[in-house]
């Protein structure tokens, strides 16, 4: 079974074995408004937890997206190049950003579960 964790900056990561699929939360997508462009990192690039790893541009603003955990990018959602609106339509499904090979699973302990995240945004 996969587990999803959340950052205070509104990123989510769904743990799938040694990898995590990540994106921004529906709360973040709602706050941004219509997403018009997503800049994703290259496969093979490594990040430390908290590093800026992507940029989302909407009709309202541009916003940085931070790595929820340290690791190496193993896949990116190329569909967002042509259809950035997927981030608004299904931020926790088709609107995912990257898959990351998790370097330190201990970092997940510092992230929020769904209940804590819901309390965080209320």
CATH architecture of 3-104: Beta Barrel (2.40)
pLDDT of residue 79: 96
pTM for the whole thing?
0.95
pLDDT of residue 117: 97
pLDDT of residue 100: 98
CA–CA gap between residue 66 and residue 75 (Å, rounded): 16
pLDDT of residue 56: 97
Q: Do the beta carbons of residue 57 and residue 35 sit within 8 Å?
A: yes
pLDDT of residue 18: 94
pLDDT in tens, the chain (122 residues): 569 999 999 999 999 999 999 999 999 999 999 999 999 999 999 999 999 999 999 998 899 999 999 999 999 999 999 999 999 999 999 999 999 999 999 999 999 999 999 999 99
Helices (H), 14-59: 26-32
CA–CA gap between residue 10 and residue 52 (Å, rounded): 13
User: Minimal CA–CA distance to 68: which of 51, 44, 92, 45?
Assistant: 51
State the pairing for strand pair 71-76/98-102: antiparallel
């Amino acid at each position: 079974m996969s587990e999803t964790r959340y950052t205070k900056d509104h990123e989510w990561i769904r743990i799938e074995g040694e990898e995590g699929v990540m994106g921004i939360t529906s709360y973040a997508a709602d706050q941004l408004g219509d997403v018009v462009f997503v800049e994703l990192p290259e496969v093979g690039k490594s990040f430390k937890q908290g590093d800026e790893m992507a940029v989302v541009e909407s009709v309202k603003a541009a916003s940085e997206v931070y790595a929820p955990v340290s690791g190496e990018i193993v896949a990116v959602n190329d569909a967002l190049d042509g259809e950035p609106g997927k981030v608004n339509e299904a931020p926790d499904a088709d609107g995912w950003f990257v898959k990351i090979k998790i370097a330190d699973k201990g970092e997940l302990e510092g992230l929020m579960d769904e209940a804590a995240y819901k309390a965080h945004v209320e």
